[in-house]
Amino acid sequence: MTAPESETVQTLEALKGDTWHRLAPAAVIHFIVKFLIGFVKNGVQNVAYLGGIAIFTGDNRWLILGSLAVGATVILLAGGILSYLNFRFRMDGRSFLIRKGVFNKKRLTLSFERIQNVAVKEPLYFRPFGLVSLALESAGSADEEVSLAGIPKAMALDIRQAVLRTSRAPKTHDLDEAPEEETAETETLLIAQKVSELARYGLSNNNIWVLAGLATGALFQQAEQWEPQAEEFVRNTVIPVTGDDNGVLGLMVAAGIFALVMLLMLLSVLGAIVVNYGYRLSYAHGRYHRTKGLFEKQETSVPETKIQSLQIGQPWPAKLLRRWHLVVRQVGFSSKNDVNTSKKERFIIPSVTPEFYQPFASKLFGDIAWDDMIPSKISRLFIWKTLKYFLFLPGILITAATSYFWGPIGFLPLAAPLLLLPLIMLRHHQYRYWSNGKTGMVQRGFVGTRTIMFAFRKVQNVALQQSPSQRRHELATLIIQLAGQTITVPYMPYQDAAQWRDTILFEVETSREAWM
């Protein structure tokens, strides 16, 4: 016998019990938007294909595009309605129970103790109905485990308060008990970003190059298919206007590339403003609270105790604007070694100056004497070993084959080490490390830099590795494992690496501060 079901639920009290509840009917819009976003993110080549149809298919283009639009609309509506009808949720004690899925049925159980982040999102399409989307994220998950899209805002705020209260309370605390009184601490505003700063963030982050790479890859995938139509388009449309002078055509191509770059920069700036509009970061009751978003207002909080590291990034465009972008890393917010591969939304603080990030880092990890900081460099042996093992040896192997078939031209791979030597030297120059015995800092990069700061007491594992050549030169590679993040410092003097290892182990053993 199944539990009774109701259509919607309005309060936290009504959510408790054996009754399964539905989201508000407006949640259909959310599922349709989610499908569209997934299509754009995962199908850039399909977008390029549609663009090719619009340009090169002649008089049939509108019939083809119209048929595709009608078919896509029907599929989106059917998918959104079925997803809404198959989504059920209820609360059992201090756990959420979720049933969802159309063809791939899923049942999820998420206890309040596992919840790490509670984000209240207010998309533009929910505002007329007074609804929000509540995202519940747990430590160690690769994506949002639970997203209740289409519940009343008052109910979402009650759920967030209950979850945060549970995370601070002893495990014997029950939600039916009276909520404990909050301290008299007032919320402290740390930063409120202006639109001009968000525009700087759009100009100086790496999104423009990601967009350029995706667009280029999509165009190359479709290039062979559309080449005949493109040649006909140039011959019948462009050449009658410009003539067949190669110089004029070359200038037009250069102007087109420049216009494309400007368009990508504009899209990056607009995207940064839309996503981060009204950005505010504040602190209260041991948590950092962030509010942002133009079309989708988001309220997210991060517990101070769960912060594992702080990334201070300065891509090369940001050097020109004298800005840095921060990424707060916490338990469960990472994949492997690189924050850019994380599927979760990262907790980003965009476009700041040292006047902000230095006190902020000191608040996270304790007092840091920034004026007295002198980072150490890794050994210059890093340059020679990188050339030898990653360029010289592969180049010789490749040349042995290419020179046999292509003659003197086949020896060109041997020039790769000389061409890449400046980049390797830049990499060596930027690889630095520093510690005050409590906090560690590791910096790397080429022209831009990425600096990671972390508390030694948060380290999960530390190891030293030595190759035969490193032993001869009294060097070592230090490998530091945080929660979901690995930090590697190659070619350190062995004495420095051993001191870091011993200090880290001492801090881990003796610290009585909360780890998470």
* 3-state class (DSSP) for residue 25: coil
Per-residue pLDDT, 155: 84
Which residues make beta-bridge pairs with 465? 477
Residue type, 417: P
Alpha-carbon gap, residue 226 to 203, rounded angstroms? 32
Per-residue pLDDT, 37: 75
Task: Name the domain boundary from 130, 156, 175.
Answer: 175
Alpha-carbon gap, residue 167 to 161, rounded angstroms? 10
Domain assignment present for residue 113? The answer is: yes
Domain assignment present for residue 44? The answer is: yes
Task: Name the domain boundary from 409, 427, 445.
Answer: 427
Domain assignment present for residue 27? The answer is: yes
CB 218 within 8 Å of CB 44: yes
- Is the alpha carbon torsion for 381, 384, 385, 390 positive or negative? positive
Per-residue pLDDT, 344: 47
- Distance linking the first and last C-alpha atoms of the chain: 41
Tell me the residue range of the domain where 385 lies.
381-427
Per-residue pLDDT, 2: 47
* Cα–Cα distance list, 173 to 139, 162, 176, 179, 494 (Å): 21, 11, 9, 9, 50
Element (H, E) at 421: helix 416-430
Domain assignment present for residue 140? The answer is: yes
Alpha-carbon gap, residue 360 to 355, rounded angstroms? 9
Q: Please tell me the total number of residues recorded for the chain in this structure.
A: 516
Residue 368 CB neighbours (<10 A): 20
Element (H, E) at 270: helix 246-276
How many domains does the chain divide into? 2
Domain assignment present for residue 128? The answer is: yes
∠ CA 152-157-159 to the nearest 5 degrees? 95
User: What string of pLDDT tens digits covers the 516 residues of the chain?
Assistant: 444 555 555 666 667 767 788 888 888 888 888 887 776 665 544 555 555 555 555 566 667 667 777 877 888 888 888 888 888 888 877 788 888 888 878 888 888 777 777 888 888 889 888 899 888 877 555 455 678 888 888 888 888 887 777 665 544 444 444 444 444 457 899 999 999 999 999 998 876 666 666 666 555 555 555 666 666 666 676 677 666 666 777 777 788 778 878 888 888 899 899 999 999 999 988 889 999 999 888 888 888 888 999 999 999 889 999 999 999 988 654 443 343 334 445 789 999 999 999 999 999 999 999 999 999 999 999 998 888 877 777 777 777 777 767 777 777 777 777 788 888 999 999 999 999 999 999 999 988 999 999 999 999 999 999 999 999 999 999 999 998 789 999 999 999 999 999 999 999 999 887 666
Per-residue pLDDT, 333: 44
Per-residue pLDDT, 216: 63
CA gyration radius for the chain?
28
Task: Name the domain boundary from 392, 427, 462.
Answer: 427
Which residues make beta-bridge pairs with 152? 131
Domain assignment present for residue 136? The answer is: yes
Per-residue pLDDT, 140: 52
Residue 118 is classified by DSSP as E
Domain assignment present for residue 38? The answer is: yes
* Cα–Cα distance list, 13 to 88, 155, 205 (Å): 17, 9, 44
Domain assignment present for residue 291? The answer is: no
